[in-house]
Structure 1
């Protein structure tokens, strides 16, 4: 008879040890890790391939893309078509992409460079911002739910509460401060426009959602996904819905984002210059309850 010993796994201490490095997943990669630590291992069920599409969904490809015409529709018919399209996409997918959205394309690239620049700084610089205090205006850490989730994600994040109470410029990292402030101004304006479109899609006055102060709050999340030595064992982001009213996602050219529809997963292709819009939980609640919503997210 042959017996096997399985190495003990003290998850709590391993989580603490990882968090105390204050350098996140990027720190593991910089250290030359060749195996994914066990705290990042996800169950095989979550990592399994999606089931084949049912016959009635095989005609679907992915979420639709809408041309916002620079947020100025001289042709009322085009505006109505966009409103109707966004209505259907919101109902059926909960996601859609927008192009010609009014946010300068060079600013999108600068914002992505700023996020990468922060996460690829010297570990000693990043450590200064690493904190697990959610009352902070600016916070850098790995996994908000590190100590409560079944498995950690292969991802680092810095976040900032931008509105309605903006941070002081000196509280933001110099490497991405200016582009963050400029980008979020444009996103706030885009958000107001999207709320107009969504109000019309709901059969309401165009100002309805903005007058509920839905465009007054902004939480900015900036994710970074370092190269993974064993991608079959972990995930960058697990399945979730956003608790915000609306999410404006700026993706990079590395694909991987998927959306779920009727139990099936669909890839979201990279569309140059596009922003991905995600209907959050609060919008779905707000359709039925005329409650004040005061936050949306930017990823």
Structure 2
């Protein structure tokens, strides 16, 4: 499975430009990109501009033979072998698939998207009060972390991305996206759209996630990350011993999830997968 990396826009930044300070000022405002849109901007701030797009990294037409796999969980008790094989194939070959007939009512999915959209469209002062309260507590449901994303219509989508290319530092991400779409997966050196499928949940088992900025909007999504690092543990993770041999040696060194996350956080979204740091020399 491949990692996701940021694409460039060709924007030149002056030598006096202090991106960190501008990012900090933006973060401290607690108004988000919605606040910028509400202010009536027609040009995106330079902190969101990406450097020049390379030809080899541009989005290419999707081959007719390629589609994002869809795993149907209907009657899973009598179709378990078929479902497991579908997940194994999709996870191993692409790292992305969509799940339908998962048992979560359509009304619940719609209400979740509506709640995420409603929060981000609250007045700035009301949202600030939420942020202030959350500084004093951390709510964790089991080993899951739930995040909502809100991307307003972008006045210059060709200059930016919804988020930079990156690897998800977890074991599994389940994403609920709305009808606008925008999610892409990097596969066989090409970017492919993950199409909106009513009622489906997108599952990511790899370093393949990217979100594009869009002139349509607002785009809303909710992601559930399976994040065991939220609980301190000394458990060592590594390849399954029974699958190793002289002909099939380990590719990555053993590590704790905490060490992996610590490295991921320290390097930031720098266009490189955190997995490379843990790869054993050939």
> TM-score normalised to the size of structure 1?
0.61
- Alignment coverage as a number of residue pairs: 205
Distance 1:286 1:60, change over 3 A: farther
1:258 to 164, 167, 184: 184
Q: Is the 8 A contact 2:96 2:206 kept in 1?
A: no
Tell me how far 1:52 sits from its aligned partner: 6.2
Q: Is the 8 A contact 2:76 2:83 kept in 1?
A: no
Unaligned runs of 5+ in 2: 1-13, 208-225, 228-235, 242-254, 259-282
Where does residue 148 of structure 1 map in the other structure? none
Q: Distance in 1 between matches of 2:136 and 2:174?
A: 23
Report the structure, 1 or 2, having the larger strand content.
2
1:9 to 14, 17, 29: 17
Where does residue 126 of structure 2 map in the other structure? 125
Where does residue 241 of structure 1 map in the other structure? 167
Distance 1:74 1:12, change over 3 A: closer
Report the structure, 1 or 2, having the larger helix content.
1
1:27-176 equivalent positions in 2, closer than 5 A: 27-45=35-53, 49-51=58-60, 58-69=63-74, 72-75=75-78, 78-130=79-131, 136-137=137-138, 161-164=139-142
Tell me how far 1:243 sits from its aligned partner: 0.9
CA RMSD of aligned residues (A): 3.1
Tell me how far 1:134 sits from its aligned partner: 7.8
Unaligned runs of 5+ in 1: 1-5, 138-160, 165-216, 295-299
Q: Distance in 2 between matches of 1:292 and 1:18?
A: 34
Distance 1:64 1:287, change over 3 A: farther
Q: Is the 8 A contact 1:247 1:279 kept in 2?
A: yes
Q: Is the 8 A contact 1:248 1:278 kept in 2?
A: yes
Q: Distance in 1 between matches of 2:135 and 2:51?
A: 28
Q: Is the 8 A contact 1:65 1:98 kept in 2?
A: yes
